[in-house]
Amino acid sequence: MTPDGEALFLQAAGQLGLDVAGQLPAFATFQRLLVEVGRHTNLTALLDEPDIILKHFVDSLSCTVGGHLTGELTVLDLGTGAGFPGLPLAIQHPGLQLTLLDATRRKIEFVQQVTAALSLPNATALVGRAETLGRDASHRGRYDRVVTRAVSALPVLAELSLPLLREGGALLAQKGPIQPEELEAGQRVAELLGGELQTVERFTLPVLNDPRSLVVIRKVAATPERYPRREGVPAKHPLS
Ligand code: SAM
């Protein structure tokens, strides 16, 4: 990371109330690997330094807006891709125990490369589908939080994530400016699966001022056994 990059990161994270100074070496290693591997493997379209810092690192860390990730929590990152938002959260918050899940093996192999390079003790990467984990007793009902960014519309996310949460746990879905129709549909599906909309944190991404919403859905009752439906069905035929 260049000195300008470090200054940008410190400033932008500072606007979220986060001090990343002690973690700069770890984020710099993550950035270097993302650029090196991303040059020949399709991981993410964003490989310029300011984009990585603002649209990946700071955007991922903005999951903490509203204080829904405070304390010692087990967190599943559903559809982590190249590690977002899960890896920045694991680097910055050692009290979080992250499981980084993605259906694409190549992306999880990259995430494993980063966790090994950083010797990150609080992050485990898994290849698999949320529908499968949601029916596996060692994952169903086990997580305090599910975080997710750029994976699917809210009704689909509700079906994929609520089975994985313990009662009292919460889905934190990172969105741009969420439309009322998506929010209402997500709320309806969440209620079918034992969830209820708790709040939407609305804010802008530091420096870029892009609008962001963090949709918080709390699990208040057990999810019926029939959910999630089999692989691919939640996205193909969303509940309504
Ligand atoms: N969250 C990352 C980010 O914001 O950069 C990656 C976003 S990428 C557009 C969506 C990822 O979700 C893909 O890597 C895809 O493999 C994964 N995905 C989609 N549906 C999934 C499912 N049902 N279970 C696990 N992973 C899934």
pLDDT tens-place string over residues 89-115: 999 999 999 999 999 999 999 999 999
Q: CA torsion sign, 89 to 91 to 93 to 94?
A: positive
- Residue with token string 């940008």: 8
- Ligand 1 binding residues, C-beta < 6 A: 44, 79-81, 84, 101-104, 107, 129-131, 149-151, 160
User: For residue 56, is pLDDT > 90?
Assistant: yes
Q: What angle separates helix 154-161 from helix 180-192, to the nearest 10 degrees?
A: 20
Q: What angle separates helix 3-15 from helix 24-38, to the nearest 10 degrees?
A: 120
Which atom of ligand 1 lies closest to the CA of 83? 2
Tell me the average pLDDT across 159-171.
98
**Is 153 annotated to bind ligand?**
no
- Residue with token string 């955007």: 59
Q: Map 75-137 to HEC letters.
A: EEEECCCCCCCHHHHHHHCCCEEEEEEECCHHHHHHHHHHHHHHCCCCEEEEECCHHHHCCCC
Hey, whose CA ends up nearest to atom 5 of ligand 1? Answer: 84
What separation in angstroms does the CA of 40 have from each of 11, 33, 102, 226?
A: 31, 12, 20, 41
- If one residue of 102, 108, 230 were mutated to test the ligand 1 pocket, choosing by the most ligand atoms within 8 A of its CB, it would be 102
Domains, the chain, in order of start with CATH, read 68-236 (3.40.50.150)
CA distance 216 to 235: 20
pLDDT tens-place string over residues 114-155: 999 999 999 999 999 999 999 999 999 999 999 999 999 999
